[in-house]
Amino acid sequence: MHDVARAAGVGIGTVSRVLNDSPHVSVETRAKVRAAIEETGYRPTRRNRRNEGKQARLVGVLVPFFGEASPFMRLRGIVHRLARHHGEAVIINVESPAQARARLVELPTSTALDGLIVISMPLQGDEGRQLARAPFPTVLVDTIDSALPSVHIDDRAGGAMATRHLLSLGHRRIAFVGEQPGNQFGFVASAHREEGFRQTMAEAGQAVPPELVRYGAFLHTAARRIARDLLSLDHPPSAIVAGSDTQAFGCLDAARQLGVRVPEDLSIIGYDDIDLAALVGLTTVRQPLVYSGERAAELVVESMSMRPDEPSSEQLEVELVVRTTTAPPR
């Protein structure tokens, strides 16, 4: 199948969909794959790959926007750990909700995969139960469904942790920059981090004026625009809790453009601790991105041998990493 995919110039997941007569493949692409099958002489067999000993096992990884830093770090952990078990990752990148829903419908009938890991995609309706009935095990990362095992964190606790740090330094006028709650994919991590922020501010007796909570796309450029607006207010915040490191970088860029000194005039804290965070000295809430991928890979490999009676739900710890972008207000 790798040879066919290479010859056709498509991903192995597309080859699988053609072999399974999926309707979600264009006529042109289907023709290219069929031609590549003839060219390579490939003849598909429907067999139980999980009983083939040391043959490489294929684990699909359904991930939105895998080129972004945090999904990429999870993938790094998955690939590293699968290699120890003679496994290979098949990346199934999705860039729209419609594409994601189509993949979640197709995948449970795949004969090519030995396992599946779904990263950050909130499941809808009975998608979890459908995946649980698939001929291969599925593990969720950064999302939860009662029908499937998962590896996740408490984003509310992380948002609270970031806010407590700024409050402990003496900040009171604190802004939050996050992702729109009603985003098209249904991602909830940023909303949960905001809930932790709001709850902690309320417990400290601090009001959160509406103008200090801003939403935008999960992009450096969007966060930079939002932060410029915040810092241009008549009474700007002395600190910003960003829903991700990527958004924190946008806030740092806006401060630099406006001549606002960090941390002397403005403190900024991110979330994730992606690789670049340490290089720029960003204070952040670290979640175990690489390890979450490693643990998901372990769970899916274990489940290939024996499906657990009840799906497990593993909550990993987050921690505060203090660097140079936060300090007491002046």
Which residue in the block uniquely carries the two structure tokens 């991105």?
Answer: 289
Lowest mean pLDDT: which of 65-69, 163-167, 239-243, 279-283? Answer: 65-69
pLDDT band for position 21 (50/70/90)? low
pLDDT at residue 50, as a whole number? 46
In this model, does residue 87 exceed pLDDT 70? yes
DSSP three-state, residue 91: strand
Of 320, 221, 314, which Cα lies nearest the Cα of 272?
A: 320
pLDDT at residue 310, as a whole number? 83
Strand order in the sheet with 115-119: 87-94, 57-64, 115-119, 138-141, 150-153, 313-316
What are the tens digits of pLDDT across the range 112-146? 899 999 999 999 999 999 999 999 999 999 999 99
Question: Quick one: average pLDDT of 219-234?
Answer: 96
Alpha-carbon span 148 to 263, nearest angstrom: 43
pLDDT at residue 47, as a whole number? 45
What are the tens digits of pLDDT across the range 60-76? 999 998 888 999 999 99
pLDDT at residue 303, as a whole number? 92
In this model, does residue 49 exceed pLDDT 70? no
In this model, does residue 30 exceed pLDDT 50? yes
- DSSP character string of 214-241: EEE-SSHHHHHHHHHHHHTSSS--SEEE
In the chain the domains, ranked by start, together with CATH numbers, are: 1-44 (1.10.260.40), 155-287 (3.40.50.2300)
Averaged confidence pLDDT in the chain: 91
pLDDT band for position 46 (50/70/90)? very low
Question: Quick one: average pLDDT of 286-307?
Answer: 94
Taking a C-beta distance cutoff of 8 angstroms, is the pair 292, 142 a contact?
Answer: yes
Lowest mean pLDDT: which of 101-105, 170-174, 247-251? Answer: 101-105
Which 8-state DSSP code applies to residue 261? -
Lowest mean pLDDT: which of 1-5, 120-124, 195-199? Answer: 1-5
In this model, does residue 17 exceed pLDDT 80? no
pLDDT at residue 53, as a whole number? 47
Dmax over CA atoms of the chain, in Å, equals 72
Question: What is the chain's Cα-based Rg?
Answer: 22
Taking a C-beta distance cutoff of 8 angstroms, is the pair 295, 142 a contact?
Answer: no
Q: 88: which 2 tokens?
A: 């290979």
In this model, does residue 52 exceed pLDDT 50? no
In this model, does residue 100 exceed pLDDT 80? yes
pLDDT at residue 43, as a whole number? 66
Alpha-carbon span 316 to 196, nearest angstrom: 17
Question: Quick one: average pLDDT of 15-40?
Answer: 80
In this model, does residue 327 exceed pLDDT 60? yes
pLDDT at residue 199, as a whole number? 98
Kindly report whether the global pTM for this prediction surpasses the value 0.75: yes
Alpha-carbon span 85 to 178, nearest angstrom: 38
